[in-house]
Chains A and B, each alone.
Chain A
Amino acid sequence: MRILVIEDDENTLDYLVKGLSESGHATDPAADGKDGLFLALEGDYDVLVVDRMLPALDGLSVIQALRSAGKTTPVLILSALGDVDDRVAGLHAGGDDYLVKPFAFSELLARLEALTRRRDAGSPDTALKVGDLELDLLSRVVKRAGQMIRLQPREFSLLEYLMRHVDQVVTRTMLLEGVWNYHFDPQTNVIDVHVSRLRGKIDRGFERPLLHTVRGAGYMLSGEAS
């Protein structure tokens, strides 16, 4: 995908551009808000990474200008501030996701991929299918290879989230925000316990596992043979 990174800290900018390029994405840098806005309006990007604090034009103004010009490119806001009101302000200005510095590169990558996929999804699904695993959102029935699987409500939401992000790395923070809807730092890897419970229900007894652990990053649900 094509990514534009607007970030004034040279070091972070280099690091992001290098990392994203290595991950196989065409990435353009912009060092201040004005250049960034100009590039974003001219170019055809799949996703923007915008720092909140920028010289010339701050991040939120860039997003607002972009949105009022009719551009719907998804935006991930980077911020050194970690307050909830900042998050709310950022999302209110038209940002699609919010990541607090410092972050793991894998976290950023996972979120950028989730943002572009979300855009592709288009029409709302009533049923999700990954390999031989099926999830019906209306009857809330989950089947694997035709066999009914009983899930707790939270396990159902967890599986739904993973299935909506099929073949993408999903981080623990993304799960906390997306499935539990809380922004907080767990002191223990409590999410892992939930994921392994779910894994026990959907993968146990089947030859090919669907739910994979991505070392140092998170989890991925994948129907492809790995």
Chain B
Amino acid sequence: MAVLLTFIYWSTAGYMALQTDDTIEAEVTGLAERYGVSGLDGLVRSIDERISRKPNGDAVYLLTDDQLAPLIGNLDRWPRVGKDGDGWLNFNLEQITGDGDEVTHRARARPFTLHGGYRLLVGRDMHALDATRSLIVRAIAWGLAITVIMALAGGIMLSRRTMRRLEAINETSRRIMSGDLSRRIPTRSTNDDFDQLADNLNGMLDTIEQLMEDVRRVTDNVAHDLRTPLTRLRNRLEALKRSSEHNGDHAPIEAALADADGLLTTFNALLRIASIESGRRRAAFEDISLDEVMRDVTELYEPLAEAKNQKLDVEFSDNVQVRGDRDLLFQAFANLLDNAIKYTPPGGDIRVSLDDGLAGPRIRIVDSGPGISEQSREQVFKRFYRLEDSRHTPGNGLGLSLVEAVARLHKANIKLGGEPGLDVQFAFQKAA
């Protein structure tokens, strides 16, 4: 760009300067020949003629004797710079304009010494050339400014369009990651690069959704198909128990019933987690008071802690609202508190708090139990995962999976920490 503009400047302004120099040179040669042919008189006449032809022209003439006393010309004296030599003279011309103001112009002239000591000066007032020059510079500057502005504006527009489309893809990805698998990236049907990318991603999502749907259907079918015979088994056992109520020992039947109940509980928990993960329950979200739910949970479990002689500290902010499913949140916090009470040794401390921070409501359950090692913290949310130490305690290894599913449904973040003990943080996002 700069190279192009420099070239333009050089080839216009430079050419004009060159032309002026050529003209002056030709005139000097012409006048010198005139002197040679018709002597001083002819030269004077010729200069006079040229001046009077264009009285306000750009041409500058001066003829002096060897003492530099002017003989004729439109300069009143020999310019002060550069008295000798055949090179070019650059000097300033002072002129009185029509308004009486004195203006200074740049002038360029070529001195020439004639036979007999007469000295001739032919030049040009450069102000027209200077004006043209500055016009070119100004035009180039404007052109440059406009080009830069347009380029910037165009760039911004282009990048904003790109950003918007990228943002659409990102937004869709975020929605999908939060469980809304039916989302698709919008296309513009212009079939540009972005549309092709979106089409491919959408196609991939269709496949993933189809696969997940298949897996879910299989899981549902398995759970359902096994649940029905299990229910029948349980019914039969219960009928058997009732009919044998009065004849002797039915402890084995009760044990079998308890086993069946355990299996059914596990199946129900699995189906429940699947149902939570499908995100369908989000449609039934309502405004709930988190402090009320927390108060109810701690109130329900407080006697359990008391029975183990544990200290249950409670600190809740008032009036903390979230959108969610009241029963599921209750279930999640109940599972967490139940775990805390179960794994904290008798006489330990459990602290439950709820605060409505800048980032959003946050629930913390901190206990003085054995805690969970760094390596196991990711694992405990997996289905059926049980810590080695807890295998002898009752439970099906689904409690924390359910908590995590509930957290995901509510776009909440669950974090395990603490050392020693366990510090569970359940953080909601700030309501939009």
| Interface residues of A, Cβ cutoff 8 Å to B | 9, 11-12, 15, 18-19, 22, 80, 82-85, 88, 101-102, 104-105, 154, 180, 182-188, 190, 193-194, 197, 216
Contact = CB atoms under 8 A, between A and B. Distances in A.
List 8 tightest A-B contacts by C-beta distance, closest first.
A102-B231, A193-B303, A184-B331, A15-B235, A182-B330, A85-B284, A183-B327, A187-B338
B270 to A, nearest CB: 12
B280 interface: yes
A184 B296 contact: no
B325 A194 contact: no
Given A82-B271, A83-B280, A102-B234, A187 B325 contact: no
A185 B300 CA distance: 13
Contact of A22 (B242, B299, B325): B242
Looking at B224, B300, B327, the one whose CB has the most chain A CB atoms below 10 A away is B300
Interface in B212-259: 224, 227-228, 230-232, 234-236, 238-239, 241-242, 254, 257
Given A15-B235, A186-B334, A102 B281 contact: no
A184 B304 CA distance: 17
Contacts of B254: 216
A216 B255 CA distance: 11
Interface in B270-305: 271-272, 275, 280-281, 283-284, 296, 299-301, 303-304
B111 interface: no
Contacts of A84: 281, 284, 325, 327-328
B379 interface: no
A104 B299 contact: no
B283 A85 contact: yes
B242 A154 contact: no
B294 to A, nearest CB: 12
A102 B284 contact: no
B334 A184 contact: yes
Contacts of B301: 190
B395 interface: yes
Contact of B326 (A85, A182, A187): A182
Interface in B327-341: 327-328, 330-331, 334-335, 338
Contacts of A12: 231-232, 235
B268 interface: yes
Given A82-B272, A82-B275, A188 B280 contact: no
B371 interface: no
B264 interface: yes
B46 interface: no
A187 B262 CA distance: 11
Contact of A105 (B238, B296, B299, B342): B238
B2 interface: no
Contacts of B283: 85
B309 interface: no
A19 B242 contact: yes
B361 interface: no
A187 B242 contact: no
Looking at A182, A183, A197, A216, the one whose CB has the most chain B CB atoms below 10 A away is A182
Contacts of B334: 184, 186-187, 190
Contacts of B429: none
B73 interface: no
Interface of B: 224, 227-228, 230-232, 234-236, 238-239, 241-242, 254, 257, 261, 264-265, 268-269, 271-272, 275, 280-281, 283-284, 296, 299-301, 303-304, 307, 325-328, 330-331, 334-335, 338, 342, 395, 399
A182 B271 CA distance: 19
A19 B239 contact: yes
A175 to B, nearest CB: 11
A85 B281 contact: yes
30 contacts: A9-B228, A11-B232, A19-B238, A19-B242, A80-B227, A82-B272, A82-B275, A84-B325, A85-B280, A88-B284, A102-B227, A102-B230, A102-B234, A102-B264, A104-B261, A182-B296, A182-B327, A182-B331, A184-B327, A185-B269, A185-B331, A187-B399, A188-B342, A190-B300, A190-B334, A190-B338, A193-B303, A194-B300, A216-B254, A216-B257
B268 A185 contact: yes
A188 B338 contact: yes
A83 B254 CA distance: 29
Contacts of A182: 296, 326-327, 330-331
Contacts of B257: 216
Contacts of A83: 275, 280-281
B330 A80 contact: no
Contacts of A15: 232, 235-236, 239
Nearest to B243: A22
Contacts of B331: 182, 184-185
Contacts of B264: 102
A98 to B, nearest CB: 13
Nearest to B276: A83
A187 B304 CA distance: 12
B327 A82 contact: no
Contacts of B232: 11-12, 15
Nearest to A176: B300
A219 to B, nearest CB: 16
